[in-house]
């Protein structure tokens, strides 16, 4: 049910963090891979080969803020069965202090590039009447904190793009979903983990009282790519250790 044997899957953001873990998990489940990122691709491919020496892996250097590179990426396979897109950026600043260039920087990658990836991958999958697209939102698409205005808006926007696309391509047997992680130990969160107070706050808020490792998101990705989720589309899979629904910071003496 969770096997990806002979499936052609593109992972954008495979050089680090969640994208790297997704690539390793896809290889372990038998999928063919295009490892796409702006850097660190060879390191991921080496790790993939250690897991599955017979894995068919193609490196592809890409800047996904360049639409023409996204289109070129889609042409690497005749058939694309699945796509995972993880890259994001954040500028943590109060909204009243945000500059226009900072706004454009976050929206350009998190929302505009995601739009272009969604559009290009859906067009490709439509040719073969099948496919699964998995992109990333965040708990910040649902709950916010000071300094997260533009990032939160980009993630909420991603969810609505995905939901609408899912409705538009369902007749072609294409499923489109998002994953919303809680606190994960990736390069994006280095700034928080290196600050004692922020790190403590993010450690104690989830019910499980810890940060996630990137590989703890891999199960959700495999689920959404595989036939195990054949009836799942326009869905946001939250993997947050209870962050949204449970306040882990206070345990009353009852």
Tokens describing residue 90: 């954040």
- Out of 151, 172, 202, 231, the active site residue is 151
Question: Can 151 be counted among the known catalytic residues?
Answer: yes
* Phi and psi angles of residue 40, each rounded to the nearest 5 degrees, phi first: 65, 20
Burial 77-108 (b: 16+ CB within 10 A, else e): eeebbbbbbbbbbbbebeeeeeeeeebebbbe
244 contact partners, CB below 8 Å, separation of at least 6: 139, 142, 143, 182, 238
1 contact partners, CB below 8 Å, separation of at least 6: 226, 227, 228
Q: If phi over 0 gives left and psi between -120 and 50 gives alpha, with beta otherwise, what is residue 30?
A: left
Burial class of residue 47, CB neighbours in 10 A (0-12, 13-18, 19+): middle
Question: What one-character DSSP code corresponds to residue 151?
Answer: H
Q: If phi over 0 gives left and psi between -120 and 50 gives alpha, with beta otherwise, what is residue 38?
A: alpha
Which of 20, 28, 23, 24 shows the shortest CA–CA distance to 2?
28
User: Which residues are known catalytic residues?
Assistant: 151
């Amino acid at each position: 049910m969770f096997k990806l044997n002979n499936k052609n899957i593109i992972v954008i953001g495979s050089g680090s963090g969640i994208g790297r873990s997704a690539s390793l998990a896809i290889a372990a489940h038998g999928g063919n891979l295009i490892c796409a990122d702006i850097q660190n691709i060879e390191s991921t491919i080496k790790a993939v080969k250690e897991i599955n020496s017979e894995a068919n892996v193609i490196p592809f250097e890409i800047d996904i803020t360049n639409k023409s590179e996204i289109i070129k990426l889609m042409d690497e396979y005749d058939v694309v069965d699945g796509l995972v897109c993880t890259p994001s950026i954040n500028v943590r600043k109060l909204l009243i202090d945000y500059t226009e260039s900072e706004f454009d920087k976050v929206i350009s990658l998190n929302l505009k590039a995601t739009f272009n990836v969604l559009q290009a991958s859906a067009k490709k999958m439509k040719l073969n009447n099948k496919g699964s697209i998995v992109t990333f939102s965040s708990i910040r698409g649902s709950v916010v904190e000071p300094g997260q205005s533009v990032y939160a808006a980009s993630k909420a926007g991603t969810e609505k793009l995905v939901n609408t696309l899912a409705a538009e391509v369902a007749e072609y047997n294409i499923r489109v979903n998002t994953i919303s992680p809680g606190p994960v130990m990736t390069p994006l969160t280095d700034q928080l983990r290196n600050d004692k107070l922020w790190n403590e706050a993010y450690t104690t808020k989830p019910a499980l009282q810890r940060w996630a490792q990137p590989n703890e998101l891999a199960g959700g990705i495999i689920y959404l790519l595989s036939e195990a989720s054949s009836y799942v589309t326009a869905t946001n899979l939250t993997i947050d250790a209870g962050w949204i629904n449970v306040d882990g910071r206070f345990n009353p003496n009852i």
